[in-house]
């Protein structure tokens, strides 16, 4: 056993019996590297990562490779999901050193002080794919360290200087306008794939932040069409699990047909909210089915006994990527009646050539170019659902992919928000109860001494939380409050917002650092406004603080959000794309959203809330008679009938008792 056996990360525990003398990231490893003047071999990955498994089997489980690693380096293994701070820094450094994007596994060679001087991603044991063999590479890197120290140190000075300049710094208050919003809309529509949905070619990622940006463009039918086409084609594609629900991380092709099979909580939360929005706009039953299947997967496979949500499902099972998900024709024919088999073959492409590794079939709805799948007749629907249920039951008997069962605060927050929003839109109290239970679990386990922790497993919560943990949780709380107002949730939202300002805000330049002011000192302290696969923490923080500030009349929150926009304004002006979440904050800074406080009998308040659930352009709180302890900004007189109190920015209207009149007040100005 190496030094990983006591870790909480399932990914690190996968490597606990490697012959490599792994250390977790920490002072022990850094001190040893400094005392022995040895470079650090840093390997960053995560438990659901296919190529991480490949490199582990080829190299880290091999005694000969391990002997070379142990002789030459201090070896450090990091779970990128528990330590996104390290992953951000070293992915950025890799891009600077290699001139191309990184990925996982990330393999970096560091000086004893943690500065990287060479890196890559996957390396095979023996040379192939145009890559050097890992043993040879290790020997070469060690030789460079010992014989060309001056070159390494000179490169490090340049790298550290460049990293230091990477955090955004404001030039002062900005004259904000809508130009970046228009530029981003044009950029997205210019790269939109009209045939298959999404943006650009293969590989193709969902990009929920960009889809949400387009759906918000209510006055632009092309933007709305692009978002809906993408959501439709994803729902019909193989990236969506046609049997069990949930979405895989990305598609390897431009058609959404063959995914990289891992399923991540952080994708499925925002996508769930988007499919709820798509249904609210169109009433298309496809979107309802996708939402129901996604929640079914979440509650069946990803929910812990105390209600919080697990992190991910592996791409591999039985040592093969996708093995759990793909089919052979003979197996399908054996499980289904001839009528079911014929319909399934037509619907899912089983009557065509194999689409996975030229040997198996991965299910997706067959769609003609520029079209939609033909709707099923009522009798076909019954037959098709019978076939789906039989195949799902048979698949459940297979060896399941591994599950990463750690609890991550930020990823849970993304799912809580998506689930709470879907609960509002589809009027599903059971979904809302699941979202509230998850929130209560996070609050009980990961909120300690007025600070958040980043991760928990088997009752052990640890690691200083990051910007995303606070920002995403604030956003989730605002969504939960609109679904059902609980005073403890409002109090928690205020505590989260205050902690965000106290521990993360850059009071000199505006915006928020990714790590807290008392975090471990690293070679860089990131501060970025870009969306990645997940929304920008700065963007989510700005939106959440603005909305909470308007709700409570709290100027501190509004001013912090404005300083964040000022900080990133020069970047948003220079570059269209990548700032969709910050652009939501910009839009709401220029035109504050309508806020409606509903007060009256609980039944009437609830009915108005249900009728307003799909309206993202407004913030609606339902405060039924009898609620007490409300903040002064929320306290409205009780009434025998429902009244709506509408404010926008600093302008408030007289109470409204007519629902149609309320709708007029909520329209964007």
Predicted confidence band at 273 (pLDDT cuts at 50, 70, 90)?
very high
Average of per-residue pLDDT across 157-186: 89
Contact between 205 and 193 (Cβ < 8 Å): no
Can you give the pLDDT at residue 172? 78
Contacts of 564 (CB under 8 A, 6+ apart): 510, 511, 512, 529, 538, 541, 542, 545, 582, 585
Q: How far from 636 is each of 184, 479, 621, 624, CA to CA, in Å?
A: 40, 21, 12, 10
Q: Does residue 173 carry a pLDDT above 90? A: no
pLDDT higher than 80, residue 170: no
Is pLDDT above 70 for 17? yes
pLDDT at residue 171 tops 70? no
Percent of the chain whose predicted confidence (pLDDT) is above 90: 93
Quote the CA–CA distance of 234 and 367 in Å, as a whole number: 11
pLDDT level of residue 370 (50, 70, 90 thresholds): low
Preceding amide of 629 cis, omega within 30: no
Nearest to 254 by CA among 205, 202, 206: 202
Q: What is the pLDDT of residues 316-363, one digit of tens each?
A: 999 999 999 999 999 999 999 999 999 999 999 999 999 999 999 999
What average pLDDT does range 560-574 have in this prediction? 96
Give the tokens for residue 263.
């399923």
Higher pLDDT, 161 or 170: 161
Instruction: State how far the alpha carbon of 365 is from the alpha carbons of 127, 257, 290, 292, 322, in Å.
Output: 39, 9, 13, 18, 18
At 371 the pLDDT is 73
Mean residue pLDDT of the chain comes to 95
What's the whole-model pTM score? 0.96
- Reply yes or no on whether the pLDDT at 401 is more than 90: yes
Tens of pLDDT along 83-92?
Answer: 999 999 999 9
Round to whole Å and give the CA distance between 199 and 223: 12
Q: Say whether pLDDT at 274 is over 80.
A: yes
Domains of the chain: 10-164 (3.40.30.10), 325-397 (no CATH), 594-666 (no CATH)
The predicted-structure confidence for 73-85, as pLDDT tens digits, reads as follows: 999 999 999 999 9
Give residue 369's pLDDT band: very low, low, confident or very high (50, 70, 90): low
Distances (CA, A) of 116 to 66, 69, 109, 523, 525: 21, 17, 6, 10, 15
Average pLDDT over residues 398-408: 97
Beta strands 594-600 and 451-457: pairing type?
Answer: unpaired
At residue 48, does pLDDT exceed 70? yes
């Amino acid at each position: 056993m190496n030094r990983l056996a006591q870790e909480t990360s399932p990914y690190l525990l996968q490597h606990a019996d490697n012959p490599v003398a792994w250390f977790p990231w920490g002072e022990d490893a850094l001190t040893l590297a400094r005392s022995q003047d040895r470079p650090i071999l840093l390997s960053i990955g995560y438990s659901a990562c296919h190529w991480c498994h490949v490199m582990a089997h080829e190299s880290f489980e091999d005694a000969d490779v391990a002997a070379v690693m142990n002789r030459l380096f201090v070896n450090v293994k990091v779970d990128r999901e528990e330590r996104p701070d390290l992953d951000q820094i070293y992915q950025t450094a890799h891009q600077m050193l290699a001139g191309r994007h990184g990925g996982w596994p990330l393999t970096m060679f560091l000086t004893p002080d943690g500065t990287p001087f060479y890196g890559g991603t996957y390396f095979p044991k023996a040379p192939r794919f145009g890559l050097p063999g890992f043993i040879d590479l290790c020997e070469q890197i060690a030789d460079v360290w010992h014989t060309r120290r001056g070159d390494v140190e000179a490169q490090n000075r340049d790298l550290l200087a460049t990293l230091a300049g990477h955090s955004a710094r404001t030039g002062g208050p900005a004259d904000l306008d809508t130009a970046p919003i228009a530029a981003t809309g044009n950029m997205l529509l210019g790269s939109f794939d009209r045939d298959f949905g999404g943006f650009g070619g293969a590989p193709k990622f969902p990009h929920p932040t960009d889809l949400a940006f387009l759906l918000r463009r209510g006055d632009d039918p092309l933007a709305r069409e692009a978002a809906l086409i993408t959501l439709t084609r994803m729902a019909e594609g193989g990236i969506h699990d046609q049997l069990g629900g949930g979405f895989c991380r990305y598609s390897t092709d431009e058609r959404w047909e063959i995914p990289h099979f891992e399923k991540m909580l952080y994708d499925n939360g925002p996508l769930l909210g988007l499919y709820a929005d798509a249904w609210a706009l169109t009433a298309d039953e496809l979107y309802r089915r996708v939402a129901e299947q996604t929640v079914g997967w979440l509650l069946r496979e990803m929910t812990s006994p105390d209600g919080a949500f697990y992190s991910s499902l592996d791409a591999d099972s039985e040592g093969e990527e996708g093995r759990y998900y793909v089919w052979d024709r003979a197996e399908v024919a054996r499980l289904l009646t001839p009528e079911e088999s014929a319909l399934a073959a037509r619907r899912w492409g089983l009557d065509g050539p194999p689409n996975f590794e030229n040997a198996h079939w991965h299910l997706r709805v067959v769609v003609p170019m520029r079209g939609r799948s033909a709707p099923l007749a009522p009798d076909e629907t019954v037959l098709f659902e019978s076939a789906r249920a039989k195949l799902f039951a048979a698949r459940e008997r297979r060896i399941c992919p591994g599950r990463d069962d750690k609890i991550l605060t930020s990823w849970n927050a993304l799912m809580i928000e998506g689930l709470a929003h879907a609960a509002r839109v589809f009027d599903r109290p059971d979904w809302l109860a699941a979202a509230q239970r998850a929130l209560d679990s996070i609050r009980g386990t990961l909120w300690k001494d007025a600070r958040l922790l980043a991760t928990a497993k088997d009752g052990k919560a640890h690691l200083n939380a990051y910007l995303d943990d606070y920002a995403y949780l604030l956003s989730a709380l605002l969504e939960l409050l609109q679904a059902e107002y609980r005073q403890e949730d409002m109090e928690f939202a205020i505590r989260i917002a205050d902690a965000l300002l106290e521990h993360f805000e850059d009071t000199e330049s505006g915006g928020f650092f990714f790590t807290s002011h008392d975090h471990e000192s690293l070679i860089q302290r990131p501060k970025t406004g870009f969306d990645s696969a997940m929304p920008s923490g700065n963007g989510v923080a700005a939106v959440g603080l603005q909305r909470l500030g308007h709700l409570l009349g709290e100027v501190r929150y509004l001013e912090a959000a404005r300083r964040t926009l000022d900080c990133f304004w020069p970047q948003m002006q220079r570059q269209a794309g990548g700032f969709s979440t910050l652009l939501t904050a910009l839009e709401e800074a220029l035109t504050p959203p309508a806020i409606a406080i509903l007060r009256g009998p609980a039944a009437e308040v609830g009915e108005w809330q249900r009728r307003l659930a799909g309206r993202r352009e407004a913030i609606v709180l339902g405060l039924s008679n009898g609620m007490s302890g409300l903040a002064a900004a929320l306290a409205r007189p009780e009434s025998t009938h429902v009244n709506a109190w509408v404010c926008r920015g600093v302008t408030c209207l007289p109470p409204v008792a007519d629902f149609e009149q309320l709708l007029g007040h909520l329209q964007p100005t």
